[in-house]
Amino acid sequence: MKKAVDIKGLNFSYSDNEILKNLSFSVPEREFFIIIGPNGSGKTTLMKIIAGILKPQKGSIQILDRPLKEYARKDLAKTIALVPQMAALDFPFTVTELVLMGRSPHLSMLGFEQEKDMEIAENAMVLTGVDHLAHRTLDQLSGGECQRVFIARAICQEPKIILLDEPTASLDLANQIKVMDLMDKLKKEIGFTVIVVSHDVNLAAMYGSHLLLLNAGIIASLGKPKDVLTRHILEDIYNCKLLVDESPVGTFPRVTLVPRSEGRGLEDGVNL
Amino acid sequence: MNHKTPFVLKRIMVVSLLLLLLLLITMLIGISMGSTGNGVKAVLQSLFGEGGTDSILDTIVWQIRFPRVLLAALVGATLSLGGLVFQALLRNPLAEPYILGISGGSAIGAIIGILAGLSRFPGVSFTAFLGSIATLVLLLIMSSGQSILKTHTLLLSGVMVNAFCGAIIMFLVSMTQNSRLHNIIFWLMGDLSMSDIRQVGILAATLLPCFIILFLYSHSMNLLLVGNEMAQTMGVNIRSVTTILLVTTSFMVSSTVCHCGLIGFVGLVMPHLLRLIIGSDHRVLVPACILGGGAYMVICDLLARLLPQQGEMPAGVITAMIGAPLFIYLLKRSKR
């Protein structure tokens, strides 16, 4: 099978500050790949490099068996779409306008949309369940709706790979599941390769087919959720007490935080 | 979904036609009204050369009012468009060439050019352009390192740049004996009265290409507004687009400043009004700002000519009286 992303010997630093050190890994096509790790481990930087926003000092990156450097800007836009962390917009575009912007790599400079583009945008909105909001402006939407609109925009780009940076960070529980379920569905039904940067180890355990655990710019662990999310590895990296067992709802690990303050600890009889 | 057919082009056409009509009507009113009270009918006759026996009216219409109204329309178009572009680029709805100090920098350049005895075109235009670029660079350095999304840092930088420019202008004016600068104060507040048709023609010829360039980049402005990173992953070359937009806009603004001084807040009023009515799509907003901004300025100039009992007041007085309260309102709202 083709590799969606293949990285070898990647180094990246901001002036003197080394962020990523000699990373090598690959992401197979049609994978739900989740990058986890503590704050400042280099997750977002890695994502920006794959998206072509940041240029690494060393290393080779292949996107679908072709060097990233050889992609023209618009070609890359037809291959990779990015859903960045949510930012407030002071300029109220309508949902349709924003989703249609995803068509721009396929259009001329002024981006005049044809009927076909309108159809693609509509389908994307139906797929993400925001079609009923088509004429609303973005400032009228809730966080969850907004995130799904931005995902619809990414789908509209008709990429092979979708990158999401902390897609669930500011969402409530129901919307976290909704967004992750949506990405899972897109992976299965359309065949996208989905790469997500996340803080949430439990969501990663539930949805990731493979996880990459990053710590201080190096790969701490890479593999299936049950191999990456072990108590030993996680306690070591996050430097806190944790309980890891199998989730009662499926065959994936569950990570539980253990409070440190007295009287809130484990009840007697629970053995870590 | 109601829209099955591509509608952006259609929207551009409809909005532009309506605003073009508005612009033509205001221009006609602007030409018709003045201290010698001839009616619209007589002016129309003069404009289209029918029964043109009234040679005094002909002279007034063709040599005084027509160039002036045309200049007002060009200046209004430029400043509105300038405001729109800066607002998109800096992702800040309060950005505007005058508030940011870009106009002030152009004025310093223009005064230096006048003092050096250069001709208005291309000499003074060029020094004004250099002045605007210098303030732009200064502004970007001052606000670099901080997020340009932080409204107040940028605005404060702009206000300071503006105050500094004002001081330098007054310094230059006080130090010189140059008679050309004797009515500089009037010019500083925005004066459209010194317009002859040849100068206005040259200005129009320099501005039109700028309008076209900015329209071509209007969709890129849409994408930039959503965020630099997302724009980049949709195929926009951020650095080149930003440079082209900034340089074109500075050039355009500085060209108008050396013709009619500092006219503030125009870039705030029209973009906001039009955004409220037609939304945020810059492909529609760019032509709308050109035509609507022109109409707005023609009206402001007309008020400046008609309101005083004798003589006239600088057009910048009117635009500031309308624009500054709007600015305060928007600033208050943005603090929420």
Q: Which top CATH class is B8-45+53-334? A: mainly alpha
Q: How many angstroms separate the CA of residue B2 from the nearest CA in chain A?
A: 10
Query: Model confidence over B249-284: pLDDT tens digits?
Result: 999 999 998 888 888 889 999 999 999 889 899 999
Over 60: is that where the pLDDT of B150 sits? no
What are the angstrom distances between the C-alpha of A183 and each of A159, A161, A191, B99? 14, 11, 10, 45
For residue B181, count CB atoms less than 10 angstroms from its CB and return exposed for 0-12, middle for 13-18, buried for 19 or more: middle
Across-strand partners of A18? A13
Q: How many angstroms separate the CA of residue A110 from the nearest CA in chain B?
A: 5
Residue of B nearest to A96 (CA): B1
How confident is the model at residue B4, as a pLDDT?
A: 46
Task: Check whether the bond before A253 is cis (ω within 30° of 0).
Answer: no
- Are B46 and B52 in contact by the 8 Å Cβ rule? The answer is yes
pTM for this prediction: 0.89
A257 CB neighbour count, 10 Å cutoff? 11
Query: Model confidence over B151-170: pLDDT tens digits?
Result: 567 778 888 888 899 899 88
A242-246/A253-257 β-pairing: antiparallel
Q: Does A2 touch chain B (CB under 8 A)?
A: no
Give the whole-number percent of chain B exceeding pLDDT 90: 38
* B289-299 average pLDDT score: 96
Q: Does A76 touch chain B (CB under 8 A)?
A: yes
Over 90: is that where the pLDDT of B308 sits? no
What are the angstrom distances between the C-alpha of B34 and each of B38, B162, B259, B296, B303? 8, 34, 22, 18, 10
**CA neighbours within 13 Å on the CB side: how many for B152?**
5
Query: Model confidence over B46-99: pLDDT tens digits?
Result: 767 665 556 777 777 888 889 999 999 999 999 999 999 999 988 888 888 988
More confident residue, B35 or A32: A32
Residue B176: pLDDT band (50, 70, 90) is confident
Query: Model confidence over B92-103: pLDDT tens digits?
Result: 888 889 888 899
How confident is the model at residue B180, as a pLDDT?
A: 63
A67 CB neighbour count, 10 Å cutoff? 11
Q: Does residue A15 sit in helix, strand or coil?
A: coil
Q: Does residue A270 sit in helix, strand or coil?
A: coil
Nearest to A128 by CA among A113, A143, A150: A150
* B36-51 average pLDDT score: 67
Q: How many angstroms separate the CA of residue A160 from the nearest CA in chain B?
A: 13
Dihedral sign of CA atoms B271, B272, B275, B278 in order: negative
Nearest by CB to residue A84, choosing from B218, B227, B236, is B227
- Are A5 and A62 in contact by the 8 Å Cβ rule? The answer is yes
Q: Where are the domains of chain B?
A: 8-45+53-334
Residue B3: pLDDT band (50, 70, 90) is very low
Domains of chain A and CATH, by start: 1-79+159-237 (3.40.50.300), 90-157 (no CATH)
Task: Please report residues of B whose CB lies closer than 8 A to that of A84.
Answer: 227, 229-230
Q: Does A94 touch chain B (CB under 8 A)?
A: yes
Burial call A46-63: b when 16+ CB within 10 Å, e when fewer = bbbbbbbbbebeebebbb
Residue type, position B318, single letter: I
- Are A231 and A218 in contact by the 8 Å Cβ rule? The answer is no
Mean pLDDT per block of 10 residues along chain A (272 residues) reads: 92 91 95 94 94 93 95 95 80 91 93 92 95 92 92 96 94 94 95 95 95 95 94 92 91 90 60 51
**DSSP letters of B147-210?**
-TT-HHHHHHHHHHHHHHHHHHHHHHHHH---GGGTTHHHHHTT---S--HHHHHHHHHHHHHH
Cα distance between residue A137 and residue A152, in whole Å:
15
- In A133-162, the residues whose Cβ lies within 8 Å of chain B are 134, 157
Dihedral sign of CA atoms A109, A110, A114, A117 in order: positive
Nearest to B224 by CA among B300, B140, B282, B268: B282
Q: What is the DSSP letter of A267?
A: P
